[in-house]
Structure 1
């Protein structure tokens, strides 16, 4: 396999080749990790921990006691209730998260006033036991949206405090307990003298007090509160709230459950209170009627001197007792039915209907209970909704249907009672015909006594129902049973340390990677051999010269085993093979031009050390300074005298011969040097002289190798004018200096044959980029430096 093919096969990218540009900057990755991890540590050190507070309740299923099952008698209502049951928990969640209920909690716990202790780095909220409390006495109607300023209060001693704030007009020192007037409100600061240790702890410390309006605070808690019905088809609701003050969040959830139960109890008490009002009204009416009947009885007996029922009527009255009982029962039910019908027809449709007043008939009683439950449910939803809500509209329709159904049922029942009473009256008339001989006065007395019994029984019945309603009012249980009181997580849920450190770790690597990537992406300089190989077309790279560190000599010495010396030996060997492959001929009498694209690419440095390396093989070598515009070769002479005669004097003055120009190198006896000479006013025209070819022809006859330091080929035309003299043109490219676009000139010069037999050498390669990534070491046989030596080099 040819050398070029071998190099081409080795240039195929592997995983190591891809990550190699990043591994060489490992110290930057380490620095990036140190910075980001330190930032994460500082963030976690001063970040406010957030805790998760949870609670759990179960909503009691009151469908059996509330009469929901009894709606099966009315198909339309039964279908609606089956649909309603699926969304019942969602309705309860809506009530829990209503602004009305949360605002009550904010008021009860005074959550709209926040106290914070000002520290050197961060501010921490104080909750629970406070060194002092601030009472805001003026209404907040003019301060909606959090218009209250932040108050800075500093305890001076046990009697005074200092108050200040941005744009606070009355800043100053005041006594505890005094009423202080401000534009936004009047306030009183009360010290907590019960806990003297706490009061002393914060003496001299600044505590900020922030007072917000209740509505905005309620909206904040409403947004942060999360409720979940985690078990399908269950009545269990789990509360979740995240806060930096866990005790405050626990108090909020516990009080929210209390407010919910009180609200639910108040709703259910409305039915009982309405029933009590109805019974009290009826008791007043029955009491008056009973008094009137008893007074009539007393007057009748007194007027007619009656003490007891006549003996002759005993048997007939005993026969009529059954009629009396039935008449009494039917008359009582008819009276209750008429009262109920009158109540429904005259009272507002939004009022609850009385229950448990003694009406017979399960259908009517169940329908009344169901009507009350639907009415209560609608009123509860209206607290957090509007009348245009489809659920509210549907409920109104169902309520109207039930009310109409109840009224119709009561009227039907009344008709039945009237018919039964009429039949009994007919029977009584038949019985009365049998006691025609009983005095009329006795019959009147019996009617009076019967009316008295009806009123007494109805009065006693209403009293009994009233006592049962009072007992029911006192015995109503809470609707939400607490499964778990509010509790806080032991460990903060935010910030998550492992996650923050992981993000910092990834960010440290990513930022460094992106920095290196974009640096390489926008880098327009040639960095290594691979960059150069991708840009060159049909031009081989003969060698790489490492970048010299500060204080390192820029020339090769005798028995030099440095990296630079070895790289020039490789360059020398590669050039010998290159010239042989190009058919230049024998190794002797070769002219090598050393040029570059622009200045400062190191062509003089390469030319001198290449000449020295060739001289070390025993060859006779001369180094010629042909850069007559900006000569630099004189710096490799001991005296550094640039005034010595050189090439320009030989071309311009026919009397000058080569022996007058040759100077000996200080590094090697077989290396001669001819400087460029004085800088001429017409360098291009001077090089076109016939004496230029004569000069190089004579040098070839005397020396084995003629190394020529020429001018930059892209900047001036000097090198192109004499390029035909060269057997090989060694083109110098400097790593991290030569722009990639300049390599296009090399390809163009090679394509147009402007320069003869171009070969490229890469100069100034850093250690990380030297060779093929410096994978196989720098110098064979040289002791390899340890990691720490290379790190601190």
Structure 2
């Protein structure tokens, strides 16, 4: 990698970010996009789960124009003189009529849309309507504009519980749960509540409903808001009705009922004369019906009192009744005989193990079934006795059961005997009455004849008025509707809202835009050095850049993970092929190029603007990189206040400050040799002095450097930041070259102009720039994607030969 140097005049620093750079940054933060998409798509799915699906149902009406009444059919044109007249329909007027609250009010009343039922769900409450509604609730004591709601629980078997009452938006404090049964009228804080099961109610299944009642006019306004009435075409007389609702069945019912109400209102307006005529006829029919009813009642009462449905047939009827009665008495007597026989048979102990006669002639299904059951049980008992004995416990239990069955049969037979005796006595009394009526006086026909004559007169008048009423109704019936349904209410089962695809698409786009926006804002508001691109326009030589030590040095949200420097944090190792070792090899090559082989330019200081720029880290690892190549290297910890470099060798108690303070004269005694490479020495600080500046200003420090030049190929001095103390300026007097360390993410970009002025004013000798701490995952501004020291991966290298 060649060292770069920009000798062109300084240009203003460009803080803007290009699309290409933004793309690199976004690719580096791919985890942000995954997290953002997961969040936004999860929110979108949650929104879809919690938002009820709204469906659309549409119908098309054709408004008939210039019709006669309702276009009477050819076979009934003779009814054209019944008062029907020509009319012209204004489609725009009918459009307004269909949108009027009066029609929706009637729809709400007919369908009871002021009552709403919801089945609680995990994410949303599902509307219960039609086939999904097991119960209906009525609140008769609430006025039309009052609202209420409560929770209704139905347990298997029909028991109901009412709780959580709210009236007109105010919760009614009540710890008591109202309990009752279906079809009961319950007394609650809302007044009387009537619960009625629908045909879809299953008594074996419980359910829970959230019942709410909206004010009548509030419901009208709500449903009117979901209705859209428009003209299908400006040149046509067709109207499109569109209704949106969470229940498809309710939407269809609203449109159908709305069309019916509109047609009924239109027909009612067109048939006012026929309606008045119908009212007159109905009134007269009521009067005549009452008079005719009185006559019928007189005839009926007289015939009922005298048992005369027909005078001429009375004698024949009574004779037939007498014969029939005698036959019934004979049949009952036979049944009574057989019943007594069966009872005596059962009472005889000798017949305990004998079967009872199955076809005994007793006309009682109860007794016959008991006898059949007894015989079956007895056969089982006898079969068991045949295989065991009468002492068998099962036989004993069955004998006891058979005894109980015999007693039950005897009781039933006794009741049957009592019933038969009662019937025979009743028939005998009827026979006596019939004989008396046959001998009665037939002169009752005279009275019936006069009354029946009045009945026929009123009946003829009643039939005449009925005929006229039917003619009037027929005339109304042929006043057909002025509309024709072209398209009945229908629609797709795909919800109109929310549109799943659109919601997910929007969530996906937002999930992409959020991290892009955050990254853009972070970069726009980031005033610090981001990477190589920010320092490319500086005129001072650029030796190289070192990536962030520790590999994944950033968290998920892009913040650098803080890592405390360790005493053994020398990352350069012989034979290692990782990115940071390759970076130090490139830096070593550039450094050797600019220094050359002259001993007059081998004293190099490392400084920066900010503390924490990594000067000590760079000094030790550059020294290690040179030592691996066989160079004799000395690292001097010139920061007498902190001694960061000294920490790499354990911070010995004696060092540079002790030598400068004349506490020791032998440099060899305070030098620390590397354990692995003897050609690498470190001169630590030693005792932290109270007057580091005064010690450095002494000539002893310059003499020391001059003495050590000949012993080492490279002398690296770790200096404090230049803007903090004056020590660096003092040390720079004895140095040959200055390596200025800029830490990415630490130094403000505004300080680059200061650095450029320092270089142009030659305040430090032979300045060169090292960019430290670049992020290998930050795209174009970073290290890994910009240069890529990965060329050696995938191939075998001898770790001992590669330096």
Normalised by the shorter chain, which TM-score bucket?
0.5 to 0.7
Counterpart among 719, 742, 749 of residue 733 in structure 1: 742
Query: Partners of 1:186 and 1:741 in 2: how far apart?
Result: 80
Query: Partners of 2:669 and 2:279 in 1: how far apart?
Result: 139
1:222-621 alignment to 2 at 5 Å?
A: 222-270=224-272, 472-533=475-536, 537-549=538-550, 554-578=570-594, 586=598, 589-621=601-633
1:642 maps to what in 2?
652
Change over 3 Å in CA distance of 1:278–1:207 after alignment to 2:
closer
2:104 maps to what in 1?
102
Please give the TM-score of this superposition, normalised by the length of structure 1: 0.65
> Shift of the alpha carbon at 1:222?
1.2
For residues 426-479 of structure 1, the C-alpha deviation after alignment (integer angstroms, 9 at most, x for no partner) is xxxxxxxxxxxxxxxxxxxxxxxxxxxxxxxxxxxxxxx999987643421011
> Shift of the alpha carbon at 1:559?
3.5
Change over 3 Å in CA distance of 1:278–1:651 after alignment to 2:
same
> Shift of the alpha carbon at 1:253?
0.3
Counterpart among 44, 51, 54 of residue 55 in structure 2: 51
2:197 maps to what in 1?
191
Query: Partners of 1:46 and 1:14 in 2: how far apart?
Result: 41
Change over 3 Å in CA distance of 1:235–1:760 after alignment to 2:
same
Change over 3 Å in CA distance of 1:772–1:556 after alignment to 2:
closer
Query: Partners of 1:572 and 1:506 in 2: how far apart?
Result: 47
2:24 maps to what in 1?
20
For residues 665-712 of structure 1, the C-alpha deviation after alignment (integer angstroms, 9 at most, x for no partner) is 223222222112211111122211122222222222332221101112
Query: 46-55 or 214-223, which moves further after superposition?
Result: 46-55
Greater relative contact order (Cα 8 A, min sep 6): structure 1 or 2?
2
Change over 3 Å in CA distance of 1:560–1:488 after alignment to 2:
closer
Query: Partners of 1:784 and 1:254 in 2: how far apart?
Result: 79
Counterpart among 661, 665, 668 of residue 659 in structure 1: 668
> Shift of the alpha carbon at 1:588?
5.5
1:402 maps to what in 2?
none
Change over 3 Å in CA distance of 1:757–1:154 after alignment to 2:
same
2:369 maps to what in 1?
none
> Shift of the alpha carbon at 1:100?
0.8
Query: Partners of 2:101 and 2:599 in 1: how far apart?
Result: 98
Query: Partners of 2:690 and 2:6 in 1: how far apart?
Result: 48
Do structure 1's residue 759 and structure 2's residue 768 form an aligned pair?
Answer: yes
**SS of the residue 2:271 aligns to:** helix
For residues 357-395 of structure 1, the C-alpha deviation after alignment (integer angstroms, 9 at most, x for no partner) is xxxxxxxxxxxxxxxxxxxxxxxxxxxxxxxxxxxxxxx
Query: 168-177 or 49-58, which moves further after superposition?
Result: 168-177
Change over 3 Å in CA distance of 1:592–1:135 after alignment to 2:
same
Query: Partners of 2:513 and 2:65 in 1: how far apart?
Result: 56
> Shift of the alpha carbon at 1:565?
2.3
> Shift of the alpha carbon at 1:553?
5.1
Structure 2 portions without partners, runs of 5+: 72-86, 166-170, 282-467, 552-565, 797-803
CA contact (8 A) 2:115 2:214 kept: yes
Query: Partners of 1:185 and 1:663 in 2: how far apart?
Result: 98
Query: Partners of 1:59 and 1:6 in 2: how far apart?
Result: 87
> Shift of the alpha carbon at 1:39?
3.5
Query: Partners of 1:499 and 1:6 in 2: how far apart?
Result: 55
Query: Partners of 2:152 and 2:541 in 1: how far apart?
Result: 80
For residues 524-557 of structure 1, the C-alpha deviation after alignment (integer angstroms, 9 at most, x for no partner) is 44332223446xx423332111222279952423
CA contact (8 A) 1:115 1:207 kept: yes
Change over 3 Å in CA distance of 1:520–1:784 after alignment to 2:
farther
Change over 3 Å in CA distance of 1:199–1:46 after alignment to 2:
farther
CA contact (8 A) 2:776 2:783 kept: no
Counterpart among 34, 37, 56 of residue 38 in structure 2: 34
> Shift of the alpha carbon at 1:230?
1.9
**SS of the residue 2:724 aligns to:** coil
Query: Partners of 1:263 and 1:504 in 2: how far apart?
Result: 49
For residues 275-318 of structure 1, the C-alpha deviation after alignment (integer angstroms, 9 at most, x for no partner) is 99999xxxxxxxxxxxxxxxxxxxxxxxxxxxxxxxxxxxxxxx
> Shift of the alpha carbon at 1:744?
5.3
Greater percentage in helix: 1
Counterpart among 774, 777, 780 of residue 788 in structure 2: 777
CA contact (8 A) 2:160 2:179 kept: yes
> Shift of the alpha carbon at 1:107?
0.3
Change over 3 Å in CA distance of 1:136–1:466 after alignment to 2:
closer
> Shift of the alpha carbon at 1:65?
6.3
Query: Partners of 1:684 and 1:553 in 2: how far apart?
Result: 29
Query: Partners of 1:660 and 1:278 in 2: how far apart?
Result: 137
Query: 172-181 or 674-683, which moves further after superposition?
Result: 172-181
Query: Partners of 2:529 and 2:783 in 1: how far apart?
Result: 14
2:370 maps to what in 1?
none
Counterpart among 180, 187, 190 of residue 186 in structure 2: 180
Query: Partners of 2:27 and 2:595 in 1: how far apart?
Result: 38
For residues 578-636 of structure 1, the C-alpha deviation after alignment (integer angstroms, 9 at most, x for no partner) is 457xxxx9465421101122322211110111122233444332111111000022333
Query: Partners of 2:775 and 2:584 in 1: how far apart?
Result: 16
Aligned length: 566
**SS of the residue 1:763 aligns to:** strand
Change over 3 Å in CA distance of 1:157–1:701 after alignment to 2:
closer
Query: Partners of 1:139 and 1:13 in 2: how far apart?
Result: 67
CA contact (8 A) 2:142 2:190 kept: no
For residues 759-793 of structure 1, the C-alpha deviation after alignment (integer angstroms, 9 at most, x for no partner) is 221222222248665255323323289xxxxxxxx
**SS of the residue 1:104 aligns to:** helix
1:59-78 alignment to 2 at 5 Å?
A: 59-62=63-66
**SS of the residue 1:40 aligns to:** helix
CA contact (8 A) 1:117 1:124 kept: yes
> Shift of the alpha carbon at 1:207?
0.6
Change over 3 Å in CA distance of 1:38–1:162 after alignment to 2:
same
For residues 17-40 of structure 1, the C-alpha deviation after alignment (integer angstroms, 9 at most, x for no partner) is 441111111222223223333433
Structure 1 portions without partners, runs of 5+: 68-83, 280-464, 786-793
Change over 3 Å in CA distance of 1:688–1:41 after alignment to 2:
same
Query: Partners of 1:697 and 1:528 in 2: how far apart?
Result: 37
Please give the TM-score of this superposition, normalised by the length of structure 2: 0.64
Do structure 1's residue 150 and structure 2's residue 149 form an aligned pair?
Answer: yes
CA contact (8 A) 1:622 1:706 kept: yes
> Shift of the alpha carbon at 1:224?
1.2
